[in-house]
Amino acid sequence: MTAVVEARGLGRTLALEPPVLLVADASFSIMAGSFTSIIGPSGCGKSSLLYLLGLLDRPTQGQLLVDGQDVTGLGGDARARIRLERFGFVFQFHFLLPELTALENVMLPMRRLGRLGNAAVRERAMSLLGDLALGEKVDRLPGQLSGGERQRVAIARALANDPAVILADEPTGSLDSVNSERVLATLHQLAREQARAVICVTHDSSIAASADTCIRMLDGRVVAMG
Amino acid sequence: MSGRLGLLAGLAAKQVAMRRRQTLVAVSGVAVGVGFFLAVSAMMIGSQADFIRTLIDAAPHIIISDELRSPPPQPGAVAYTGGAIAIRHQKARTEARGLKDWQEILRAVDEVPGAIGSPSLTGGLTLRLGGREEAIALIGVEPDIESKVSTVEDNLRVGRLRDLQTVPGGLIVGEDLAQRMGLQVGDVVGATTAGGARTLRIVGLFKKGRGQLSSASGYVLLREAQSVLGRPFVVNRIGVKLVDPYQSQEVAGRLEKRFGYKAESWQERSADFLSLLVTRNVIMYSVVSAILLVASFGIYTVVSTSVADKVRDIAILRSIGFSEGDLQLVFVIEGVALALIGVVLGWMLGYGLMAILGSLRFPIAGEDQTLPLDRSARQYAVAAAASLLSAVVAAWLPARKASRVDPVDILRSAA
Ligand SMILES: Nc1ncnc2c1ncn2[C@@H]1O[C@H](COP(=O)(O)OP(=O)(O)OP(=O)(O)O)[C@@H](O)[C@H]1O
Ligand SMILES: [Mg+2]
């Protein structure tokens, strides 16, 4: 079984004066159906690593493989395509488009991919939101939703194109404990029941404890895995 | 692909809908630009067409005269080309001027479909009445043909060109000249040339204020002119009218090449005036382009503030999997959409302005004149194309910034 995402000596240095090291020499494999957490103190490079894994940023060292293929040297359009088809992002702050309703936000990635017809896109968006208990609120703008609801809309949008990998950056960071539980349970469910790879950056040690794999970072380096 | 465009256009439409006030400013900028472009160019092109029509109609389209542009080469020089001998200071034969093969030239003119050639003889003559003397250019024509070739007939106040045929020794002069000499229709006037003297009878008058025609010309029958000027059977000018005046240069060139006589087209005759029109057009198009350019500044402003306000959304869309090109396109579409709305409103404004301009009446020379306007659809298309083109450029510049937004920078600073 090949890894969905594989890092081989992955590193990222900002070409500032002096150079800033964000991530150095990260090597690991992420398997389908696994829940991986990335933990470490603030500023150690967790988000930076996640951006590299999600093809939002380009590594300055090492290689990145997605579905066994080297994507390190790909151009912007090809990388955008992989993000669209294979990845779903969930951030600490919900990051929804404020002018679009919950439903329209969820439909966006599907419409860009263009594989489904309009009716099918709508139906799938409705069902994704329904699964996350948002069936009643599909036509609300993000401003008319609570923090937890927004984060669930963001998860629904991340799932829209049936991605292989969910990348979450402190998804519960701005939520209360009840909503945190709920979001987390959803992410675990995605890994276990739908065989997606979930990579979750977190400060929360209980989340880390519940993960299949935990990547511990310090000063840009992976210091422990297990 | 059309699905993608539709999606991006939908996102752009949200932008347009969101910033009502700015949109209004940018759109009205384009609308005013397009409206005035239409009004100004309608006047400029309309009046130009009017000028040119006057130019074309003022005289025959081509005038073949008994002049040579360059003297014919000496037979000696032709026979011994490249010889060591150059012939200089030769004594040329003083020919009786006139178009030698004028009947053949007329036949050649007739071969051009729809073309009419009118032969005439022009010469100097002195009119004498009582103690007064006036030197005029006497022009002998065939009235039936001449009236088809030139607008001389239209310039008559009294009488018709035809009357020359019915009254023996009939003469038509201008009102200005008639006034100076105290002549009236029916009067008999003495005419003196180098050849001799005789009398002519006034049968018609040209309108006042028509320059040479009304102050120093006299029209008689061709036969009459030939006999008065003592040059029987001579014709020294052929006026040609064509169906398509824009063929004049080509036809003139052909005739000149064939017969050697100078054949001057109306374009050549009014070359300096036509070049003036070119200058005028350059000025007009610079002014109008400046208007359209300024209009596109509004679009630039709207799109660049849009981009600046939307970096967060740009980062979101990039993380979802929209490409750099997608985002650039969203903002270009936004700019073009503004321009499109502006163009449509501008068309209406321009139409209205032209309607107002067209309804104005100017009393000139006792007649109510309207502004000559060019209201062709072509101008609408030109205005639209120019504004859309400048809108694409004006939107594309800031839209490039949208594609350069690094999502990581935004995500980091938002966290
Ligand atoms: N543009 C930049 N210039 C200088 N340093 C930067 C820049 N961007 C990031 N850094 C530094 O890189 C390091 C890694 O940042 P990153 O956001 O990955 O940390 P993190 O582990 O996600 O922290 P947190 O838990 O607070 O989110 C930080 O120390 C940060 O200050
Ligand atoms: Mg972080």
- Any idea where the domains of chain B sit in the sequence? 2-56+273-414, 62-241
A96 interface with B at CB cutoff 8 Å: yes
Residues of B in contact with A51 (CB under 8 A): 408, 411
Output the pLDDT for position B366.
61
Report whether residue B414 contacts ligand 1, using a CB cutoff of 6 Å. Answer: no
Task: Say which residue, A32 or B85, is predicted with more confidence.
Answer: A32
List the 103-122 stretch of A: residues with Cβ below 8 A of B: 108-109, 111-114
B368 or B186, higher pLDDT: B186
Mean of the pLDDT values across residues A74-81? 93
Does residue B368 surpass a pLDDT of 80?
no
Contact A112 B324 (CB under 8 A): no
Domains located in chain A, CATH noted: 5-96+159-225 (3.40.50.300)
Residue of minimum CA distance from atom 18 in ligand 1: A45
Q: Is the CB of A47 under 6 A from ligand 1?
A: yes
Mutation pick from A55, A95, A103, A172 vs chain B, by most beta carbons of B within 10 Å, is A95
Whether A137 has a pLDDT exceeding 50, the answer reads yes
Nearest residue of chain A to residue B404 (CA atoms): A76
Sheet holding A165-169, edge to edge: A69-70, A61-66, A5-14, A20-30, A221-225, A213-218, A35-39, A197-201, A165-169, A87-90
**Predicted confidence band at B94 (pLDDT cuts at 50, 70, 90)?**
very low
Q: Tell me if A83 and B325 make a contact (CB, 8 A cut-off).
A: no
Q: How far apart are alpha carbons A173 and B136 in whole angstroms?
A: 105
**pLDDT value at position B76?**
66
A174 Cα–ligand 1 center, Å: 19
Instruction: Please determine, for residue A126, whether its predicted confidence score (pLDDT) is greater than 90.
Output: yes
Rounded to whole angstroms, the Cα distance separating B172 from B160 reads 9
Average pLDDT for residues B226-243, to the nearest whole number?
89
Phi first, then psi, for residue B125 (nearest 5°) are -155, 150
B7: nearest CB among A76, A83, A111 = A111
Rounded to whole angstroms, the Cα distance separating B317 from A84 reads 10
**Is A44 touching ligand 1 by the criterion CB < 6 Å?**
yes
| Position with higher pLDDT, B68 vs A117 | A117
**pTM of the model as a whole:** 0.74
Minimal CA separation from B301 to chain A, in Å:
21
- Write down the pLDDT at residue B216: 87
- Tell me which range, A171-180, B72-81, B93-102, is most confidently predicted by mean pLDDT: A171-180
Residue B85 has pLDDT above 70, yes or no: no
Instruction: Give the pLDDT mean for A179-195.
Output: 86
pLDDT over threshold 70, residue B1: no
Taking an 8 Å cut-off on Cβ atoms, the answer to whether A47 and B18 are in contact is: no
Interchain CB distance below 8 Å, B325 and A112: no
CA distance B71 to A27: 95
User: How would you write chain B as a 3-class SS string?
Assistant: CHHHHHHHHHHHHHHHHHCHHHHHHHHHHHHHHHHHHHHHHHHHHHHHHHHHHHHHHHCCCEEEECCCCCCCCCHHHHHCCCCCCCCCCCCCCCCCCCCCCHHHHHHHHHHCCCCEEEEEEEEEEEEEECCEEEEEEEEEECHHHHHHHCCHHHHEEECCCCHHHHCCCEEEEEHHHHHHHCCCCCCEEEEECCCCEEEEEEEEEECCCCCHHHHCEEEEEHHHHHHHCCCCCCCCEEEEECCCHHHHHHHHHHHHHHHCCEEEEHHHHCHHHHHHHHHHHHHHHHHHHHHHHHHHHHHHHHHHHHHHHCHHHHHHHHHHCCCHHHHHHHHHHHHHHHHHHHHHHHHHHHHHHHHHHHHCCEEECCEEECCCCCCCHHHHHHHHHHHHHHHHHHHHHHHHHHHHCCHHHHHHHHC
CA atoms within 13 A on the CB side of B341: 16
Contact between B186 and B153 under an 8 Å Cβ cutoff? The reply is: no
**pLDDT of res. B297:** 87
Query: What average pLDDT does range B216-232 have in this prediction?
Result: 89
SS (H, E, C) chain A: CCCCEEEEEEEEEECCCCCEEEEEEEEEEECCCCEEEEECCCCCCHHHHHHHHCCCCCCCEEEEEECCEECCCCCHHHHHHHHHHHEEEECCCCCCCCCCCHHHHHHHHHHHHCCCCHHHHHHHHHHHHHHCCCHHHCCCCHHHCCHHHHHHHHHHHHHCCCCCEEEEECCCCCCCHHHHHHHHHHHHHHHHHHCCEEEEECCCHHHHHHCCEEEEEECCEEEEEC
Q: Report how far residue B102's alpha carbon sits from residue B68's, in angstroms, rounded to the nearest whole number.
A: 14
Taking the Cβ of residue B198 and every Cβ of chain A, the question of whether any pair is shorter than 8 Å is answered with: no
Average pLDDT over residues A185-189: 88
pLDDT of residue B71: 67
Bridge partners, A65 (sequence order) = A6, A70
Q: How far is CA B175 from CA B156, B189, B215, B319, in A?
A: 9, 15, 7, 87
Q: How far is the CA of B169 from the centre of ligand 2 (A)?
A: 111
Asked if A14 is an interface residue toward chain B (Cβ–Cβ < 8 A), one would say no
Cα separation, A180 vs A186, in Å, equals: 10
Residue A197 has pLDDT above 90, yes or no: yes
Given a cut of 60, whether residue B123 has pLDDT beyond it is: yes
CB B261 within 8 A of CB B174: no
Tokens matching residue B254: 């052909």
A11 touches chain B (CB under 8 A): no
Distance A198 CA to ligand 2 centre (A): 17
d(CA B413, CA B415): 6
CA angle B37/B42/B43 to nearest 5° reads 105
Chain A residues whose beta carbon lies within 8 Å of the beta carbon of residue B14: 99-100
pLDDT computed for residue B90 by the predictor: 65
A9 lines ligand 1 (CB under 6 A): no
Residue A2: pLDDT band (50, 70, 90) is confident
| pLDDT at B202 (0 to 100) | 93
Q: Could you give the angle at the alpha carbon of B377 between the alpha carbons of B375 and B380, nearest 5°?
A: 90
Q: Which residue in chain B has the smallest CA separation from A93? A: B415
Name the percent of chain B lying above pLDDT 70. 92
Q: Which residues 162-181 of chain A have a CB within 8 Å of chain B?
A: 169-170
| A109, A114, A169 member nearest B320 (Cβ) | A109
| pLDDT at B96 exceeding the cut of 60 | no
Of all residues in chain B, the one with the smallest CA distance to A87 is: B320
> Is residue B301 pLDDT above 60, yes or no?
yes
Rounded CA-CA distance A203/A216 in Å is 11
- Torsion on CA atoms B128, B133, B135, B140, rounded to nearest 10: -20
**Phi, psi (degrees; rounded to nearest 5) at A34:** -105, 150
